[in-house]
Amino acid sequence: MIETENITDVVETYLAAWNERVPERRRALVAEVFADDATYVDPARSGTGADGIDAMIAGAQEQHPGVELILAGAPDHHGAHVRFTWHLRPAGTDTVAMIGHDYASVAPDGRLKDVVGFVEVPEATAA
Amino acid sequence: MIETENITDVVETYLAAWNERVPERRRALVAEVFADDATYVDPARSGTGADGIDAMIAGAQEQHPGVELILAGAPDHHGAHVRFTWHLRPAGTDTVAMIGHDYASVAPDGRLKDVVGFVEVPEATAA
């Protein structure tokens, strides 16, 4: 059982990895937050293992310069499972350009094992 | 890749299984919607395989008589993954007593393989 405080730290580190554009720092955050055999998949991309996931995030950063992900509300978790919502916004602004809903299983060492991401465009933006 | 129309049918059948209180009908719906080696877990309960999941749902129905689950919005899915939100309400009313957020992986035959449920109490009810 992962404690609420710890799971929030894990999720914050996960989002920090997506936001970190200095390669060696990003790679360190990926290793810190993803289990060695972790998988990630969302509608646009997927990756396996720390190297694969780091390369995947690097590709996403190249496609989407100048944005950042922030945690939207406390993660919801029980047992070895967590879900959380994030907002993507142009860095330094309050404009929510995309909403993500991520689900992950948590390895015994507290790192994320399998992450499935879902995304939606905010209603105001979609209109 | 599961089509949107099909995944909605699968999710509706899943909720129908939770709502069906005639044992043989419920068992048939469970077999229809869950893969043979399916797992289910939420903060209150867990089950494995059609027999285990059917017994788990039966227990939940005994604990919570007179309620029903309804789908709240279209399921969100990509590849072999789906998430959806449901509302629990006293049967035949519009009172949302609980909100559920379920994530599932979808087996190649279109049935649900691993389901993880999260629940929250609506803000108005919690206040």
Q: Which of B1, B39, B40, B78 to mutate to test the interface with A (most CBs of A within 10 A)?
A: B78
Q: Mean pLDDT by 10-residue block, N- to C-terminus, for chain A (127 residues)?
A: 80 98 98 97 97 98 96 96 98 96 96 97 69
Q: Which of B98, B106, B116 to mutate to test the interface with A (most CBs of A within 10 A)?
A: B116
With beta carbons under 8 A apart, name residues in chain B contacting A81: 41, 116, 118
Q: Specify the pLDDT at position A67.
A: 97
> From the CA of B41, how many Å to the nearest CA of chain A?
9
Say whether residue A81 is in contact with chain B using an 8 A CB cutoff.
yes
Residue B3 CB contacts under 8 Å (≥ 6 apart), including other chains: none
Q: Specify the pLDDT at position B1.
A: 56
Say whether residue A114 is in contact with chain B using an 8 A CB cutoff.
no
Q: Specify the pLDDT at position B124.
A: 66
Angle, CA of A118, A123 and B1, to the nearest 5°: 30
Q: Specify the pLDDT at position B2.
A: 64
Q: Tell whether the model's pLDDT for residue B25 goes beyond 60.
A: yes
Phi, psi of A72 (to 5 degrees): -110, 90
Q: Tell whether the model's pLDDT for residue B20 goes beyond 90.
A: yes
Q: Specify the pLDDT at position B123.
A: 82
CB atoms A43 and B120 under 8 Å: no
Cα-based distances in Å from B110 to B64, B77, B80: 29, 12, 9
Mean pLDDT of chain B: 94
Q: What is the pLDDT of residues B61-91, one digit of tens each?
A: 999 999 999 999 999 999 999 999 999 999 9
Q: What is the pLDDT of residues B103-124, one digit of tens each?
A: 999 999 999 999 999 999 998 6
Q: What is the pLDDT of residues B93-102, one digit of tens each?
A: 999 999 999 9
Q: What's the whole-number mean pLDDT along residues B14-43? A: 98
> From the CA of A54, how many Å to the nearest CA of chain B?
21
Q: What is the pLDDT of residues A15-30, one digit of tens each?
A: 999 999 999 999 999 9
Q: Specify the pLDDT at position A123.
A: 82
Looking at residue A65, its amino acid is: P
> First-to-last CA distance in chain A?
42
> From the CA of B50, how many Å to the nearest CA of chain A?
22
Assigned token pair, A78:
């029980």
Say whether residue B118 is in contact with chain A using an 8 A CB cutoff.
yes
CB atoms A118 and B76 under 8 Å: yes
Q: Specify the pLDDT at position A127.
A: 45
Radius of gyration of chain A (CA): 14
CB atoms B81 and A120 under 8 Å: no
| CA-wise closest residue to B14 among B108, B83, B89, B96 | B83
Q: Note the pTM of the prediction, 2 decimals.
A: 0.93
